[in-house]
Amino acid sequence: MKKIILNLFLLNFIIVLSVTGRDVISFNDGWSFKKGPFTKSATLLTDDQVGGQWQEVTIPHTWNAKDMQTDLANMSWIRNPQERFYTGEAMYKKTYTPDSALIDKRIFLRFEGVGSVASVYVNNQYAGKHLGAYSAFAIEISSLLKYGEENEIIVLADNTPRPDVIPVNNVLFGVYGGIYRDINLIVTEKVNIAVDDYASAGIFISQKEVNSKSANVTIKTKIDNKTFRKQHINLVTTIFEMDGKTVKAKMESLVTLPTQGRQFLEQDFLIKKPHLWQGLEDPYLYKVVTQIVDDGQILDQIMQPLGLRHFELKTGEGMFLNGKKVPMYGTCRHQDWWELGSALKKEHHDKDLEIIKEMGATTIRLAHYQQAEYIYAKCDSIGFIVWAEIPFVNSVSTLETENAKQQLTELIRQNYNHPSIYVWGLHNEVYKPFQQTIPLTTTLHDLAKTEDPYRYTISVSGYNAIDATANNNADIQGINHYFGWYGGKIGDIKDWAEKIEKEFPDHNVMFSEYGGEANIYQQKEDVGEIGDCCGFDKKYYETFGTKFHEIQWGIISQHPYILASYIWNTFDFGTPLSSQGGIHSRNMKGLVTFDRKTKKDPFYWYKANWSKEPVLYLTQRRADQRENENTSVTVYSNTGTPRLYINNTEVTDFSKGTTPVHYIFNVVKLKEGENIIEVKANDNGQELSDKIIWYYSPENKKSASSEQPKERTEEHIGL
């Protein structure tokens, strides 16, 4: 078997020791898959009972990659959308032959995510079960294996909505079925750092009194002893600098482990003159390596990140990181991709974070569920400030209490050591019966504070009322509201912000979701202050979405009372039970299309306002069929005053819009036919330019309100 050393930098430290420790082996290959529904009970797990054909698959895998997004081969779902996509049981099987030398080891299967209920069997014997699609779980299979022989492992996955497993439905997003994240086989000695403590790392790094002079760090390690005799071990924890070679601090603790019971061991460090984790400005990470050593032999070792930082939200002022105010330029992220669903690889996560960083965002709401471990680790190293949450969202069944508590515990323990996370999300838009939501949210808040007293909690309401009874049981109150989309006008946000500032000056409030739908294949030159919501036959003009964000960010940016704001959403995402704006199964509030290929105009609005990179951008580039001979041209420029040219003639009359980067050239006359629109600006001596082409005809005004061509709408389905 291939031994995975935690990091190459460890070699310099452990060269004098005999290395055994743990093996972490990818278990993604060699699986066969069979989708239900099964005609008979699958509990005995025999082929003659379940029927059907097996197909070879590689993990990550989901069976809903297409049918939850739009199966073009079967459009009958328009009448019965819940019958279009499959939710139910499916089976995965694989053979595994453990070496006979492993008989005295402990062997675990660790699944990072299975949608949404998983039952695991080894040689037709029940090994364990997990409820919830988004958190990892670990199951020990040591006693069920036949060593030196072939073993059959079967995973029964089921994404049928259940009232006792959150989320309880597929309304706001689809719960993709399958083993859609990585599987690892973990082999350890019988004395080990806990593997099955809610699938956590087994070590928990807490930090207190962090400043530029010093930081107090406590590292709690959970150790199992399954040898049935006392063990004398040395717990060695070393904190390395970011280079992986220089030792910042080291501690050894001689411990006698009793014959039974998991032991919790703590080591306290005082880090002098720490290099602080300062978000995007300086995401400095130490490396913590914890080892169990016995007579010069490493029995187990774990590496975790350590970013020394202190988050503080000051009411009415904003976020302070290590005493320095940082902007909370926020956006939300759903994990699914077009034609992949949630079965993503590292390159897909990297692409999403690359786009978010390009936009200039500083904080991400990873909504509405626990996301891939890789994402949190990358946010640590990039420097994003992260909101992590559980999928207690949209509906209340009254049967979800235990599962919500379980998933929150998993979220916290599995991600406890990530310095990027500043807040745990408890619920999103869950209301009646209040007799369930209020005590459950209170319980979740208490649970979060017990598990992690060093971070904030937040709950989110879809009402724009600060005194909503279901939403005042966490440290921070999030407000989701879509002024101008789900009612009212875009500019109504201004009166709302001023009202809550005056009436609730002591509340910690975040604008946790705002946005408007934008279909890049639906364009209109003139749009009003009210969106064409909601329905399949409605028009989700990109130009309206652009106007929406221009107005709303212009207002949000002037109100520091709003501690943070989060755009809904960075990317278009799947909504299997809704069909709107000419597209089936799609929420188009994203700033980027579902396939990540097209960045909509509002994306560049935020990039111009937030990013430190020079931006010069002409809007309405896809609204190229112009209705008016006399029109206006909007330019985003964060690099000085732009110079506009229409058919090589300069236009100098402009006004400023809602923020300093917003330029509106008001009096522009087009000729019939093709018009070349070009803008130029200087950035530190380098000339920037952008160019688009518009086509003007008096006939365009007559057809502006007509239906979009059918073939154009279908083309967008592939985005």
Active site residues: 429
| Pairwise CA distance, residues 135 & 372, whole Å | 8
Phi–psi pair at 427, nearest 5 degrees: -160, 160
Query: Cα-flanking dihedrals φ and ψ of residue 329, to 5°?
Result: -85, 105
Report whether 391 contacts 167 (CB < 8 A).
yes
The pair of structure tokens assigned to 376 is 């949190």
Distance CA 366, CA 388 (A): 6
Go through 544-558 and write b for each residue having 16 or more CB atoms within 10 A of its CB, e for each that does not.
bbbbbbbbbbbbbbe
The answer to whether 55 and 33 are in contact (CB under 8 A) is: yes
CA distance 519 to 543: 9
- Pair of tokens at residue 622: 């896809």
Q: Shortest CA distance to 655 belongs to which of 646, 644, 663, 647?
A: 663
Calculate ∠ Cα 374-376-379, nearest 5°: 105
Checking DSSP bridges between strand 583-587 and strand 643-646, what pairing results, if any?
A: unpaired
| DSSP-assigned states of every residue in 41-110 | --TT--HHHH-S--EEE-SS--TTTTTTT--TT-GGGGT-HHHHS--SEEEEEEEE---GGGGGSEEEEE
* Strand positions, DSSP E, 581-642: 583-587, 616-618, 625-626, 630-637
Evaluate whether 646 touches 675 at the Cβ level (below 8 Å).
yes
382: left (phi over 0), alpha (psi -120 to 50) or beta: alpha
Identify whether the C-beta of residue 163 lies closer than 8 Å to the C-beta of residue 8: no
The closest of 611, 612, 590, 614 to 602, measured between CA atoms, is 590
> With contact defined as beta carbons under 8 Å apart, do 451 and 482 qualify?
no
Which residues on adjacent β-strands are paired with residue 656? 663
- Distance from CA of residue 442 to its chain's centroid? 24
Give dist(CA 371, CA 181) in Å, integer. Answer: 10
3-class SS at 608? helix
Encode burial over 275-298: b for 16+ CB neighbours within 10 A, e otherwise: bbbbbbeebbbbbbbbbbbbeeeb
Give yes or no for a contact between 548 and 506, defined as CB atoms under 8 angstroms apart.
no
CA 324 to chain CA centroid, Å, is: 26
Contact 589, 568 (CB under 8 A): yes
Q: Residues 709-714: contacts with CB within 8 Å, 24+ apart? A: 712/521, 713/521, 713/582, 713/583
* Phi, psi torsion values for 716, nearest 5 degrees: -70, -20
| Whole-number Cα distances in Å, 608 to 116, 384, 653 | 40, 19, 21
> How far, in Å, are 200, 387, 402, 505 from residue 453 at the CA level?
18, 16, 21, 25
Amino acid making up residue 14:
I
415: amino acid identity, one letter: N
